[in-house]
Structure 1
């Protein structure tokens, strides 16, 4: 049975997270990123963010991803862009690097689909002292009913839907002390975030149906689901 992540992979969606690549660019331009820095993008998907970071800042950029279709499309993007982005097949829960390896770590709509506690612990481990972790994540604006929660968890395949307080607790449990959580002001962004598609040659009908359901849920739960920018400094 196909999953929501299979849908994203087969459609080759770049910037699937809320706010898309426009939000990513706004967040990155707020930071002082230099070519001397090492950057890790967790769950890099088709490498849209990783390639942007390399082209814009010239830093060492590493992307990790474990979905085979996403990996192939990421390879194609890197090749087409002609940039040196390190692409590694790996799990977010087991980052294949030593301690204090990266100055900046990014994650966009990934934490909801994995073991959050394990990932935060790994991020804390591979982040340099003074380094920064920035995550963009789907967030419940308030506690959901059991029916709504089940419908969303079953469709998106997430473990559970966190509120802002849940995210804060999870981050601090991992050992981060300096934490800020921001609700983005989307009116400052384009009302139609730029989304890229890199469609696979063969897409099952059930995947096309998932797109319709996703759009249905986005409208149905627009008042209940939001997004938060989570920033953790080590």
Structure 2
């Protein structure tokens, strides 16, 4: 049976994270990004964010993605855009980059799907002193019942669903000097703006069925889950 990540990859979903590319643009415009900076997008998917960053700020941009279909579609997007972006197939839990290589690291709906302690340790290692992590993550608004937690984890493949205090504690324990968490003024599980698709030629029926199940979850859990913007400085 395919996973939620297979669904995103085969559908070639761009901007699947809460808020989509519109939120990404808002967050990046807030920062003082210059041409001499280096940015890494972990779990870059189809490289929608990476291409935007390169075209808008003309700085060094790298994308890291582990799913083989996603990385293929990312390369297709980068080629079509004519963008000079480093796309690397690899795990965020063991990143193939030097210590202190990046000024800014972005993580859009990644930390919930991985060993977050390992990834945050790698983020700390590869960020320059004073560098920033900008993460957008699914967050529990209330204490979830075990059945709901298991249901969500089983379908989406997330390791766990943290609340705001747990996200803050996780970032602080990883060694970041400052941690700011913001709740955007839209719900997590709502129709997300400006979603793009790059459909694979052959998509199994079970993957198509996952789209219907996802729509069901949008309605079922709209009051239980939210999103947080997590900004951490090394």
Q: What TM bracket, shorter-length normalisation?
A: over 0.9
CA deviation map 1:103-122 (0-9, x unaligned): 00001001110000000110
The match for 2:14 is 14
Q: How does 1:1-234 map to 2 (within 5 A)?
A: 1-186=1-186, 193-234=193-234
TM-score using structure 2 length: 0.97
Kept after mapping to 1: 8 A contact 2:20/2:192: no
Q: Distance in 1 between matches of 2:222 and 2:210?
A: 18
Q: Distance in 2 between matches of 1:149 and 1:131?
A: 33
Q: Which ranges in structure 1 are unaligned for 5 or more consecutive residues?
A: none
Q: Distance in 2 between matches of 1:166 and 1:2?
A: 30
Q: Distance in 2 between matches of 1:158 and 1:138?
A: 10
Cα deviation for residue 192 of structure 1 reads 5.2
Kept after mapping to 1: 8 A contact 2:14/2:46: yes
Q: Which ranges in structure 2 are unaligned for 5 or more consecutive residues?
A: none
Q: Distance in 2 between matches of 1:32 and 1:185?
A: 23
TM-score using structure 1 length: 0.97
Q: Which runs of 4+ in 1 moved over 4 A?
A: none
Kept after mapping to 1: 8 A contact 2:177/2:233: yes
Kept after mapping to 1: 8 A contact 2:141/2:224: yes
SS of aligned partner of 2:17: coil
Cα deviation for residue 191 of structure 1 reads 7.2
Number of equivalences? 232
How well do the aligned residues superpose, as a CA RMSD in angstroms? 1.2
Q: Distance in 2 between matches of 1:114 and 1:87?
A: 20
SS of aligned partner of 2:2: coil
